[in-house]
Chains A and B, each alone.
Chain A
Amino acid sequence: MEKTWNNKAWFMVLPVLVLVAFSAVIPLMTVVNYSVQDTFGNNQFFWAGTDWYVEVLSSDRFWDALTRNLIFSAIILAIEIPLGIIIALNMPKKGLGVPVCLVLMALPLLIPWNVVGTIWQVFGRVDIGLLGRTLEAMGINYNYVQNPVAAWVTLIVMDVWHWTSLVVLLCYAGLVSIPDAYYQAAKIDGASRWSVFRYIQLPKMKRVLLIAFLLRFMDSFMIYTEPFVVTGGGPGNSTTFLSIDLVKTAIGQFDLGPAAALSIIYFLIILLLSWIFYTVMTTSDAQG
Chain B
Amino acid sequence: MARINLNHIRHAYGAKPKSENDYALKEVHHEWNDGGAYALLGPSGCGKTTLLNIISGLINPSEGQILFDGKDVTNLSTQERNIAQVFQFPVIYDTMTVYDNLAFPLRNRHVPEAEVDRRVKETIEMIGLGGWAKKTARGLTADQKQKISLGRGLVRNDVSAILFDEPLTVIDPEMKWVLRSQIKRLHKQFGFTMVYVTHDQTEALTFADKVVVMYDGQIVQIGTPAELFERPRHTFVGYFIGSPGMNVLPVKLDGNTATVGGEHVALNFQPTVKPGAKTELGIRPEFVSLGREGMPVAITKVEDIGRHKIVRARFADQPISIIVDEDGEIPAEPRVRFDPKAINIYADSWRVGEEA
Contacts and interface: CB of A to CB of B under 8 A. Distances in A.
Interface string B42-61: 00000000000000101000
Given A181-B91, A199-B96, A188 B56 contact: yes
A61 interface: no
A190 B84 contact: no
B-side interface size class: 20 to 34
Contacts of B77: 187
B189 interface: no
A190 B108 contact: yes
Given A189-B152, A190-B79, A199-B96, A184 B104 contact: no
Nearest to B110: A190
Contacts of A189: 104-105, 108, 152
A200 B104 CA distance: 12
Interface in A49-76: none
A185 to B, nearest CB: 4
Interface in A121-165: none
A209 to B, nearest CB: 14
B95 interface: yes
B40 interface: no
Given A187-B79, A190-B105, A203 B95 contact: yes
Q: Is the interface of A mostly helix, strand, loop or mixed?
A: helix
Contacts of A185: 85, 87, 91, 149, 152
Contacts of A195: 104, 108
A15 interface: no
B32 interface: no
Contacts of B83: 188
Contacts, number: 52
A195 B105 CA distance: 11
B84 A188 contact: yes
A178 to B, nearest CB: 10
Contacts of B78: 184, 187-188
B254 interface: no
Contacts of B149: 185
Contact of A188 (B79, B88, B96, B136): B79
Nearest to B163: A188
Nearest to A185: B91
Interface in A256-288: 288
Contacts of B88: 181
Interface in A188-205: 188-192, 195, 199-200, 203
B89 A181 contact: yes
A195 B104 CA distance: 10
Contacts of A182: 91
A288 B87 contact: no
B142 to A, nearest CB: 14
With a 10 A CB-CB cut-off, give which of B96, B104, B136 has the most chain A CB atoms. Answer: B104
A87 to B, nearest CB: 23
A252 interface: no
A95 interface: no
Q: Which of A185, A188, A189, A199 has the most CB of B within 10 A?
A: A188
B58 to A, nearest CB: 6
B272 to A, nearest CB: 48
A41 interface: no
Nearest to B53: A184
B122 interface: no
Nearest to A187: B78
Given A189-B152, A199-B95, A288-B95, A181 B104 contact: no
Given A185-B85, A199-B95, 4 more contacts: A188-B85, A189-B105, A190-B105, A199-B104
6 contacts: A185-B85, A185-B91, A185-B152, A187-B79, A189-B152, A192-B108
